[in-house]
Structures are given as structure tokens and as C-alpha cells.
Structure 1
Amino acid sequence: MKYFDPHIHVYSRTVDDYKNMATAGVRAIVEPSFWLGSKRQYPESHLDYFEHVLSFEPKRAREHGIEHYACLGMNPKEANDLELAHAVIDALPEFLKRDNCVAIGETGFDLISKEEEEIMRRQLRLAKDLNMPVMVHTPHQNKREGTIRTVEILKEEGLDPNQVILDHNTHDTIDVSVEYGGWSGMTIYPGKISIEGVIEILDRYGTERMMINTAADWGPADPLSVPKAANEMLKQGYAEENIQRLVWDNPIQYYKQSGKLKLKEGKGVTS
């Protein structure tokens, strides 16, 4: 079985992580823009980071048989510095045009501030203008409230739900995300959701328009959580075709809307 991790921050991972992912069957990944752990003070710091994600990481991934794509944007963690955030977005379109950039994001809420909303709306409008998928980050605090407000903003801005993934869902938000009608992402990560929690949600809602990811970064994340979750699903009686849909076909179906994805659906199970 092949795996596609649709949200992982390999900028922060080692070569051993790449080796282990490849051995486990991870064949494709998308790396969204994220907070590096300390405040970046200049727009150029973000632009250098975009260039790294678009050029260096694909080379590292390819050495291990993994296809690397990017999702670029102004992360909500740094969106409260409006002067900086607007300057970064001013320069963003040239990077979004690159062949391996398949979506805008992560955008969304962190503190659920008016500044974050301003930066989110600007990126949503950019996604709509460029007809690109967009990854929306649901907040860590006041999560349900922030997710409900996010959906209101998505509707106000007229985004096509087919091109939106609401990510980092938990039991507190999954009903809001599913009702919106876009794609629902779940991040297997301490403090977000466990493999057991993911399966509980899939038992209730099924695998259509669902994705699971690791968001593996500097924290206590496991870059093998997607194959581990698939293995647990298999043990619990899920059909291989449903697991394939979740861990391979769904990310492809979503990201292929960019017109840049070179992967094919239906290749998740090998005999």
C-alpha cells in the first residue's frame, strides 16, 4: 500500500525520517508553510523559506523515492504583524506559480484576532482569483468557536468548498467541517487527535472527503502516523479500498485541482 501525507513539515525532519517514511510506503507529501518556532522579522525571511520548500526539500524527498509538493501562505501564527504579513502576501503570487506549489496555506486562525481574519480573507481571495485549493488551519484555542467563524468567512468570501480543506479537526469540530461540505483533515499529533480518535470519526462519517496527516514538525510528532493509522484500520476490519481512498486517492483528488499534481489515483494497493 502507498501513502500520501497531505500535511507534513519536512523542513524540520532529518534524513532518517525520510528513509523511514519511504520504507513504510510514503510516496508523496505536501509541505504547507508553518511557523518555524521563532518570530521572523523580515519579509525576505519568509521568501527564502518559500524558496527552500520549493527547491531543496523536493530534492531531499526525491532521493528517497518521495514526491514533494508545497502549499505556501502566511501562517496564522505570524499573521498578527500586519505590515510583515501583507508584504509577504504581496510577494506570494510569484511562488504560487511554481510547478510544485499545489495550494495556498496554511491560513486561518490562531488567536482568532481581527488581524488574522484580515490576512485570512486576503489569502482566500487570492486562492479564489487564482483558482487554487486552499488549506485552512483551525485554531488550537477556542477551536469550535474559531472553526464556526472560519466557515462563516469562507462562505462570505464565496470559496468553492471543493477547493477548501479544513485541517486539524477533532471531535469538537468535525461536524462543523463536514457540514460545510469541503474536505476535512485530521492531524495525528499529541494534543490534536490520536489514531483511535481518527478511527472513531471515520466510523461515524466514512472516508469520503476525509484526509489524515502527521503535520510532523519540531514537536513530538510521528512522521509514520499515516501508515500506522492505515494498519490499525486494516486490523479493525476496514476494506483496503476504503483505506486506499483515505491515504492515497483523497489527497490526489483534492490537490489535483491545482493542475500541477503528477500522481494518479487508484494506485494505492499493490498485489
Structure 2
Amino acid sequence: MYFDSHLHSEGLGFSELAMMSEVGIKEICSLSFYPIKPMYPQTMIDSFRKLVEFETQRCEAAGIKMYPAVGIHPRCIPPNYGVAFDYLERGEWLVFGEIGLESATDEEKNVLKSQLEIAKKLDIPCIIHTPRKNKREITEKILKILGDSGFPDELAVIDHVNFENLDLALKTECWIGLTVQSGKLSPEDVVKIIEEYGCERFMLNSDVGYRDTEFTTVAIAAEKIAGSVGQDEAKKVALKNARKFLRL
């Protein structure tokens, strides 16, 4: 059994979810993302409600246990976003995500800092986005914000880590998300990382959703890790670590 620790199930068809279940991906964390820039903060609130109240049931019908993550992605910041933060402060959540920086604008930094403050107050773990462009530079800014905020490393995943920013993530005590997807990491890349650095802090995900098409990559990578490193290591990065991070 496998756990995909970061994807966007709303962008997948029911048959694709069922196929994930068939290959052994039985647990997932589905993260908030709105595919266009919202015009209103209430749009994000309703997207959180849809993820929690409807999408969990749709995944369950496909044979998957889905854990919803809510939060404002740096590409989905609405006007008057404080209204959405008020809603987040009043709720009971398992995890925030995905939050982070895309271009590291002042607005993005303020939104990230505010969500970290709420998460710290409510004792909620956070899944933190790093971008494709300027990944190293922006990862450094994310880590500074995390440090300045006093957010606990053990409650943060630095996600979409690749060879460009891996050393930065390893200098922290944060969890590290390895995204197995075209244009990010290949299954062979993941095997190389686990062989060199071990399995204790890593978790696998596909980031599949609205555009990416390779939705069984966690299972593929886990099988390659099992063959090269060992079954126990594969089970940690493809199941146990995600459960531990989410405190399930």
C-alpha cells in the first residue's frame, strides 16, 4: 500500500483515482489549489469546503482514503485574503497546504507568514511549495521565513525538492517532499537520493492534478526503491513517513 503525499485530486477523473487505488495508492493528501486567480476570498473558502466535504467522499468511492490540506497557494492569492485567514483560524484542520512562495513577492511573503502564524497557533503541519523557477533562491527565502517565524521544522515539508535545493533542505530538520513527475524527479532520481541520504526524512508524491498525467508514479518509484535499497526503506518513503508527518 502506498501514500501519495501531495496531489490535487480535484483535477483527476474518477477513473484515474480508481486506477491509483488499483496499483496500491490507497491513501493520499489532496492539497488546495485554485487553477485561476480568485476574484474573491470567499472563492477560496468554498474551495476548502468542497475539498473537505465533497472530495473526500469522491475519493472514498474510488477506493482511496483522502486527507484534505487547506491553504492559499502563492498563485491563488485573492483580494482581501484576510477573510480567508479568519475562516482558517476558526476551523479544525489536519494540515495546511499547499502554501509557500512562487515569485517571492511581498504579498506572497505576507500570505506565507500569516498562514504559518495560524498553523503555529493551531499546531497544524504545513506542506510548503517551492517553485520550478529560481528554486534555490526562493527556497532560501522560504527557509528564512520559517526560521524567523519560529515554526517547528518537524511540522514542515519542503516540497518539490530536487537536486537544485536538496542540500538546503537537508541542512534543516524539515521533512522533504520528492515529487516524481515529468519535469521534476524521475523514479531513478529518487532512488539515487534515497541510496545516498537514507529514508528517514523523505516522502514521495506525484503532484498530479490539472495538467500532469503520470498519476501512479509513487507506486513506480516505491517499487524501484524496494528493488535497489530495500522493502523497509520503500515503505517508509511511500507510506510511513507521510503518516508520521500528518500524525495519523
TM-score clears 0.5: yes
Cα deviation 1:143-172 (Å, max 9, x = unaligned): 101001111110100011010100000100
- Within the candidate set 219, 224, 228, 2:211 is matched to 219
2:65 is equivalent to residue 56 of structure 1 = no
Distance 2:213 2:115 in 1: 27
Give the AA of the match of 1:251: A
| Paired residues of 1:134 and 1:165 also in contact (CA < 8 A) | yes
| RMSD (CA atoms) | 1.3
Q: Does 1:184 align with 2:176?
A: yes
Match of 1:106 in 2: 98
Contact 2:3 2:28 in 1 (8 A): yes
The residue aligned with 2:8 is 9
Within the alignment, does 1:175 sit opposite 2:171 as a pair?
A: no
Runs of 4+ in 1 over 4 A off after TM superposition: none
1:214–1:221 contact (8 Å) kept in structure 2: no
Q: Is the 8 A contact 2:68 2:95 kept in 1?
A: yes
1:143 is aligned, of 135, 143, 148, to 135
- Note the C-alpha offset of 1:137: 0.7
Secondary structure of the residue that 1:90 maps to in structure 2?
Answer: helix
5+ unaligned residues in a row in structure 2: which ranges?
none
- Whole-angstrom CA distance in 1 between matches of 2:12 and 2:185: 21
Equivalent-residue separation in structure 1 for 2:209 and 2:80 (angstroms): 23
Residues 254 and 86 of structure 1: CA distance in aligned 2, closer, same or farther (over 3 Å): same
Q: 5+ residue gaps in structure 1?
A: 262-271
Provide the rounded CA distance (Å) in 2 between the counterparts of 1:92 and 1:24: 34
Q: Distance in 2 between matches of 1:3 and 1:84?
A: 39
Q: How many residues align?
A: 248
Determine helix, strand or coil for the equivalent of 1:110: coil
- Residue in 1 aligned with 2:188? 196
Tell me if structure 2 keeps the 8 A contact 1:78–1:85: no
Aligned partner of residue 6 in structure 1, secondary structure = strand
Kindly indicate whether the alpha-carbon contact (under 8 Å) linking 1:112 and 1:139 is maintained by their aligned counterparts in 2: no
Q: TM-score, normalised by structure 1?
A: 0.88
**Aligned match of 1:72 in 63, 66, 70?**
70
How far does residue 12 in structure 1 lie from its aligned partner after superposition? 0.6
In 1, Cα distance between the equivalents of 2:80 and 2:208? 26
